[in-house]
Structure 1
Amino acid sequence: MIPMLLKFVFPPPSSLFITAMSVIGVASLAGTGYSETRGKHLQYSKFWNVNSQKTTRNEIKLSSRTGMLMFYTPAFLAGVAAFALFPDEGFRFFLVSSALTIHYFKRVFEVLFVHKYSGGMGLDTVILISPGYLISTATIIYTQHLTRGVQEPPLDLKYLGVVLFLVGISGNFYHHYILSKLREKGGEKGYKIPQGGLFDMVICPHYLFEILGFVGISFISQTVYAFSVTIGSIFYLLGRSYATRKWYLSKFENFPKEVKALIPYVF
């Protein structure tokens, strides 16, 4: 099993920190995804205060735009800082850092200019999510730095990774744009059943393409830690998409039953 893995990943660094982060990352994201399927949601977007049993009187509530900027900006800055902190690290490192920086730049751009908002989010959600993005981004970059001077895996996946990343980020942006057009009228805050693109087949095509983007980054990186982040993210987005479809079914009597959660015809 190990020799097979070493055909397409760098040998894991002898770092207890990286090993621990790989395990913790998968476990925490998978656990959060499972919680989503059980109705315990991260409190943002349409799931703000869904099934909440507590009063919001003592909660600090932020606007969605402010909260989401706090989600993504630190990770974006970590990607930018990588170019200054680790100059001349080689082409693969450049591709990994560039992909992460572009990924979070796109998210910040969408928060400012694309997304339409209907609710808010709690500060506790921001405190939970923002460090997670920052730490995973910084750790992917640092793990890539540790591969300097290490023999490359026999199977080079970085160019396939670039293609997958570009398809993923483009598809994710396109479907976010479709969602934003559902509220073209000023002040409109209600939810509608999205249509167009892959929305006619799955209710969360933006998550599907986000997964594709993460797979692309892990292929570019070819480190165990990058793959662990991708696996954890897949588990989380599976749970989140399941919960999203369940929410639409509960809110719209005319929601088409053939529309799946994440994977056309399958799930």
Structure 2
Amino acid sequence: MKIPILEKIMFDEPSTWVTATTIVTLISTVYLGFAELIGNHLQYSKFASSGNKPLAKQGVKILSRTGMLIFYTPAFLAGLVSFFVLPGGDLRFVLLKFAVTFHFFKRDLEVLFVHKYSGGMILGSVILITGFYFSAAAGLIGVQYLTLGLPEPSIDLKYIGLIIYIVGIIGNFYHHSLLSKLRNDNDKGYKIPQGGLFGLVICPHYLFEILIFVGFSFISQTPLAFACTFGDSLYLIARSYETRKWYVNKFEDFPKHTKCVIPYVF
């Protein structure tokens, strides 16, 4: 059954292969979100040693900086290479390539020059997250290339998407900077974050990452882009819920009015 509003804001799928990829992406990312809620966390940051397995059986642990560089670098390279492998295209295609490439380049820069680290992460989780980001970057750009020449959606969202993307990039960087200031170079402990939107939600950096993906989907307007955004948003909302629980258990003075990721709502 076709839904009229979706027909107005999305490109038609260019092939059955792309449709299958969209469905697989949606199912796999939704699963990751529900896995967080039942305690099967991806093991990085404060959840690096969580999970149902004994610590000795959780897998190889690597340095957080190394793991996070592995997260983002293949996706950044996929975006960068696309400018040479898939040159040209219309404005929408160029905007999407730039948005994807710059986002993951920014994350690499933050890993190298902004973040402070408290421990390690499990290699299996690193591989899983890297696979998602790389396949998302390559898939978004590749599918957009396949839409070149197809009829445009009747509602053009790319300029709204660009504005949302810029807000997301700025807000995400700003709150990552605030997090980095909680520790000096020798401090490995956790503190209750303050400043910015941290007084309203415990994970404003996740909120702005969600906006970045919303920006992707509005610029792109392909079903795959919306599937990536929905799945990534669900995962980050679930992760923020578990993060808030962690802070409540760790800090007796954690402000109870502070929500998870959406100010005043959740």
Q: Same fold (TM over 0.5)?
A: yes
Distance 1:84 1:61 in 2: 36
Gaps of 5+ in 1: none
Q: Which residue of 1 aligns with 2:245?
A: 246
CA 1:58–1:51 in structure 2 vs 1: closer, same or farther (change >3 Å)? Answer: closer
Contact 2:210-2:229 at 8 Å conserved across structures: yes
What residue in structure 2 maps to residue 141 of structure 1?
Answer: 141
Please give the alpha-carbon distance, in whole angstroms, between the structure 1 residues aligned to 2:16 and 2:115.
Answer: 40
> Which residue number in structure 2 is paired with residue 260 of structure 1?
259
Give the aligned residue type for 2:191.
K
The CA deviation string for residues 109-147 of structure 1, in whole angstroms up to 9 with x for no partner, is 010000000010111111211111111111111110011
Shift of 1:2: 3.1
State the partner residue of 1:230.
229
Q: How far apart, CA to CA, are the structure 2 residues paired with 1:213 and 1:146?
A: 22
CA distance in 2, matches of 1:204, 1:169: 15
Trace 1:113-128 onto structure 2 (pairs within 5 A): 113-128=113-128
CA distance in 1, matches of 2:143, 2:174: 31
Call closer, same or farther: CA 1:51–1:227 in 2, change over 3 Å: closer
Does the aligned pair in 1 maintain the 2:58–2:122 contact within 8 Å?
no
Rounded Cα–Cα distance in structure 2 between residues aligned with 1:105 and 1:91:
21
Q: Are the counterparts in 1 of residues 159 and 219 from structure 2 also a CA contact under 8 Å?
A: yes
CA distance in structure 2 between the partners assigned to 1:94 and 1:207 by the alignment:
26
Report the equivalent of 1:15.
16
Aligned position for 1:81? 81
Q: What residue in structure 2 maps to residue 192 of structure 1?
A: 191
CA deviations on 1:144-164 (whole Å, 9 max, x unpaired) are 001111111111110110000
Aligned length, in residue pairs: 265
Say if 2:60 and 2:123, in contact at 8 Å, map to a contact too: yes
- Structure 2 CA distance, aligned partners of 1:222 and 1:59? 39
TM-score normalised by the chain length of structure 2: 0.96
Equivalent in the alignment of 2:208: 209
Higher mean C-alpha deviation, range 148-157 or range 197-206: 148-157
Partner Cα distance (1:246, 1:226) in 2: 30
Deviations 1:97-116 (A, max 9, x none): 00000110011001000000
Give 1:59 deviation, angstroms. Answer: 2.8
Aligned equivalents of 2:224 and 2:256: distance in 1? 37
Q: Which residue of 1 aligns with 2:34?
A: 34
Provide the secondary structure at the position in 2 that maps to 1:56: helix
What residue number does 1:154 align with? 154
Contact 2:116 / 2:185 at 8 angstroms: preserved in 1?
Answer: no
1:132 aligns with 2:122: no
Task: Give the letter for the 1:110 counterpart.
Answer: E
Letter of the structure 2 residue corresponding to residue 189 of structure 1 = K
1:96 equivalent in alignment to 2:88: no
User: Who is 2:54 aligned against?
Assistant: 54
Can you give the 5+ residue segments of structure 2 that lack an aligned partner in the other structure? none
Q: Percent identity?
A: 56
Query: Which deviations, in whole Å up to 9, do the C-alpha atoms of 1:35-54 show, x marking residues without a partner?
Result: 11222110000001125532
Provide, for residues 184-227 of structure 1, a one-character-per-residue CA deviation record: whole Å limited to 9, x for no partner: x2310100000100000000000001111110110000111101
Distance 1:193 1:131 in 2: 31
**What secondary structure is seen at the aligned counterpart in 1 of 2:62?**
strand
Q: Which amino acid is 1:205 matched to? A: P
Q: Is the 8 A contact 2:114 2:177 kept in 1?
A: yes
